[in-house]
Amino acid sequence: MLSLLRLTLAVSAVVAPVFAEIHNVVVGNANGQTIYTPEAISANPGDQVVFQFQQKNHTATQSSFANPCGALDGGFDSGFMPVPANQTDNFPTYTITVNDTKPIWVFCNQAANTPNSHCGAGMVFAVNCGQDGQPNSFTNFKNAALAIGASLKAQATATTPVTTAAYGGVTIPAAPEASVVTVTVTVEASHWTTTYSSYPGSPNPTPVSLTGTTHKVVVGGANGELTYDPPFVQAQPRDQITFEFHEKNHTATLSSFDAPCRANPLGLDSGFMPVAANSTTFPTWTVTVNDTNPLWFYCRQHKPDGSAHCGAGMVFAVNPVQTSARNFTAFQNLAIALNGTNATGAATSGGSTTSQAPTSGASSSAASNVALGMGSLFALVALLL
Ligand SMILES: *[C@@H]1O[C@H](CO)[C@@H](O)[C@H](O)[C@H]1NC(C)=O
Ligand SMILES: *[C@@H]1O[C@H](CO)[C@@H](O)[C@H](O)[C@H]1NC(C)=O
Ligand SMILES: *[C@@H]1O[C@H](CO)[C@@H](O)[C@H](O)[C@H]1NC(C)=O
Ligand SMILES: *[C@@H]1O[C@H](CO)[C@@H](O)[C@H](O)[C@H]1NC(C)=O
Ligand SMILES: *[C@@H]1O[C@H](CO)[C@@H](O)[C@H](O)[C@H]1NC(C)=O
Ligand SMILES: *[C@@H]1O[C@H](CO)[C@@H](O)[C@H](O)[C@H]1NC(C)=O
Ligand SMILES: *[C@@H]1O[C@H](CO)[C@@H](O)[C@H](O)[C@H]1NC(C)=O
Ligand SMILES: *[C@@H]1O[C@H](CO)[C@@H](O)[C@H](O)[C@H]1NC(C)=O
Ligand SMILES: *[C@@H]1O[C@H](CO)[C@@H](O)[C@H](O)[C@H]1NC(C)=O
């Protein structure tokens, strides 16, 4: 008898769902509040959480403690559940099953990454989080979400700081505020510490592999194209940019955002690469990307009338932050504004009667007011093991 009872207990322990509970969570409400009610629950493996979506248009999307307002890779997501203000019943639901005792972090993905982000307003939910006082408490999770909301609001109201180009008196967006971050990077079986400048939109400092990958960029072409193709690339440290020079006679020369058509004193320059019209081989020049900072390039060549290829928009960039005011188009526009045929600077420096000495772009670059990109200020220090 006793052993039978013991057997029954053992069986029930294995078949946990027999005791499974259903936890109801109301998402939003008739007052249009951005809240899950309740905000945090404890649940056992096998339990179900039923999200009932009330008024407005919310989601229950899995995130992580580290990134409260970002969808977790491979996590669950109810999708948007729009409920009109006058709907009073038959609310849609979405059910998840709790599989273990690990915390589950959830947020509402409505208006993500905007000042109106529901998550940023604190619309988060958790299963099996830590108690108050523990690092992974619900309070800490919600505060992290609120901090994201505050930062999104601050970004939206901040006026874009501006500065003046290194020459030509054109107003340009200032470089982003960067903070120097030290992280341990793991690639394949290697680990090392790297120090880099992090700013909104900065790329991942982790190389794709120990040798990186190669990005090919075609310079010029048989039809007299004044282009780099593609005009910009996103690259990780250790990647290589291989410029392949096609017809005509171009360069790839490092400059800076503030002085797009002037050689950077760091001196990275392919030199002129003349390629005959009937050529079947194309010389290359390769630059290794060492950090996450943008790299700005231009062609030093001038047309017979003295106008600069750069002023015609022949520029290239590595890691421009496309979501920022310092995007590739802004850089190209600046080159045209400063060295285009309508630029006052170009008219005075280039002259209009004779061709300009081809190397003047480089020699005039010694000007001390050439503003360096963040790259040279916070060059990445990769302490290879
Ligand atoms: C719900 O929100 C999503 C995301 O903002 C939006 O795409 C969708 O159109 C909304 N649905 C309704 C019915 O408002
Ligand atoms: C809610 O309002 C819309 C128009 O405002 C109407 O078409 C719809 O029938 C209403 N629904 C209910 C459940 O009252
Ligand atoms: C629990 O496991 C099921 C089946 O693998 C999965 O679909 C579900 O998303 C899991 N639940 C959670 C909260 O991860
Ligand atoms: C290209 O043309 C030039 C003269 O126009 C000639 O000297 C040269 O041999 C040609 N090269 C090739 C690879 O055909
Ligand atoms: C990256 O570092 C290598 C080795 O120091 C150097 O040759 C190369 O010019 C650097 N690349 C850039 C973009 O500064
Ligand atoms: C990119 O630059 C262009 C030209 O300056 C500007 O109009 C646009 O707003 C910029 N994009 C962003 C996301 O700031
Ligand atoms: C250059 O100036 C001319 C004459 O003022 C004007 O028509 C043209 O649009 C300008 N071009 C650019 C690229 O600003
Ligand atoms: C390429 O251009 C440079 C600068 O204009 C010039 O000095 C050089 O002679 C040109 N090379 C050829 C082969 O045309
Ligand atoms: C662009 O204009 C500036 C200012 O006039 C000049 O110093 C620089 O050499 C020009 N760049 C080119 C490639 O002509």
Distance CA 255, CA 242 (A): 17
Q: Do both 129 and 224 map to the same domain?
A: no
Distance CA 124, CA 41 (A): 12
Task: Let me know if residue 144 belongs to a domain.
Answer: yes
Q: Do both 142 and 42 map to the same domain?
A: yes
Q: How far is CA 93 from CA 2, 82, 263, in A?
A: 44, 11, 61
Task: Let me know if residue 12 belongs to a domain.
Answer: no
Nearest CA to ligand 5 atom 13: 289
Distance CA 94, CA 108 (A): 13
Report the number of distinct structural domains present in the chain.
2
Q: Do both 220 and 113 map to the same domain?
A: no
Question: Which ligand 2 atom sits closest to the C-alpha of 87?
Answer: 13
Q: Do both 149 and 215 map to the same domain?
A: no
Task: Let me know if residue 109 belongs to a domain.
Answer: yes
Give the pLDDT of residue 369.
29
Task: Let me know if residue 277 belongs to a domain.
Answer: yes
Please indicate whether residue 29, judged by its CB atom, sits closer than 6 Å to ligand 1: no
Domain end point (choices 123, 142, 159) = 159
Give the pLDDT of residue 158.
63
Question: Which ligand 9 atom sits closest to the C-alpha of 167?
Answer: 4
Contacts of 73 (CB under 8 A, 6+ apart): none
Q: Nearest 5°: phi and psi at 364?
A: -75, -5
Task: Let me know if residue 80 belongs to a domain.
Answer: yes
Please indicate whether residue 307, judged by its CB atom, sits closer than 6 Å to ligand 6: no
110 CA → ligand 1 middle, Å: 8
Q: Do both 116 and 227 map to the same domain?
A: no
What 3-state class would DSSP assign to 155?
helix
Ramachandran quadrant class, 267 (left: phi over 0; alpha: psi -120 to 50; beta: rest): left
Q: Which among 353, 268, 249, 276 is positioned nearest to 318, based on CA atoms?
A: 268
Cα 235 off chain centre by:
11
Domain end point (choices 117, 137, 159) = 159
Task: Let me know if residue 339 belongs to a domain.
Answer: yes
What 3-state class would DSSP assign to 360?
helix
pLDDT above 60 (res 139): yes
pLDDT digits (tens, 9 = 90+) for 46-59: 999 999 999 999 99
Q: Nearest 5°: phi and psi at 106?
A: -135, 145
Give the pLDDT of residue 385.
27
Nearest CA to ligand 9 atom 7: 364
Report the CATH number at residue 97: 2.60.40.420
Task: Let me know if residue 178 belongs to a domain.
Answer: no
What 3-state class would DSSP assign to 120?
helix
Q: Do both 368 and 257 map to the same domain?
A: yes
89 CA → ligand 2 middle, Å: 12
Contacts of 159 (CB under 8 A, 6+ apart): none
Q: Do both 153 and 222 map to the same domain?
A: no
pLDDT above 70 (res 18): no
284 CA → ligand 9 middle, Å: 25
Q: Do both 247 and 153 map to the same domain?
A: no
Structure tokens given for 25? 């969570």
Question: Which ligand 8 atom sits closest to the C-alpha of 359?
Answer: 4
**Count of Cβ atoms closer than 10 Å to residue 211 Cβ:** 12
306 CA → ligand 4 middle, Å: 27
Q: Of the ranges 187-196, 248-257, 289-298, 303-312, which one carries the lowest mean pLDDT score?
A: 187-196
Please indicate whether residue 155, judged by its CB atom, sits closer than 6 Å to ligand 6: no
Residue 53: which domain range? 19-159
Q: Do both 295 and 153 map to the same domain?
A: no
pLDDT range class, residue 20, cuts 50, 70, 90 = very high
Contacts of 126 (CB under 8 A, 6+ apart): 39, 40, 41, 103, 104, 105, 106, 138, 141
pLDDT above 80 (res 123): yes
Q: Do both 154 and 257 map to the same domain?
A: no
Distance CA 209, CA 192 (A): 13
Question: Which ligand 1 atom sits closest to the C-alpha of 111?
Answer: 5
Task: Let me know if residue 268 belongs to a domain.
Answer: yes
358 CA → ligand 8 middle, Å: 8
Please indicate whether residue 274, judged by its CB atom, sits closer than 6 Å to ligand 1: no
Q: Do both 226 and 369 map to the same domain?
A: yes
Q: Do both 154 and 238 map to the same domain?
A: no
Cross-strand pairs, 57: 82
pLDDT above 50 (res 368): no
Q: Which among 347, 344, 1, 42 is positioned nearest to 170, based on CA atoms?
A: 344
Nearest CA to ligand 8 atom 5: 358
pLDDT digits (tens, 9 = 90+) for 97-119: 999 999 999 999 999 988 899 99
Distance CA 154, CA 157 (A): 5
Domain end point (choices 129, 144, 159) = 159
Please indicate whether residue 179, judged by its CB atom, sits closer than 6 Å to ligand 6: no
120 CA → ligand 8 middle, Å: 57
Please compute Rg for the chain using Cα positions: 29
pLDDT above 70 (res 384): no
Distance CA 120, CA 114 (A): 9
pLDDT above 90 (res 7): no
Give the pLDDT of residue 167.
94
pLDDT above 80 (res 164): yes
Give the pLDDT of residue 160.
66
**Count of Cβ atoms closer than 10 Å to residue 100 Cβ:** 10
pLDDT digits (tens, 9 = 90+) for 278-308: 999 999 999 999 988 999 999 999 999 999 9
pLDDT digits (tens, 9 = 90+) for 314-343: 999 999 999 889 999 999 999 999 999 877
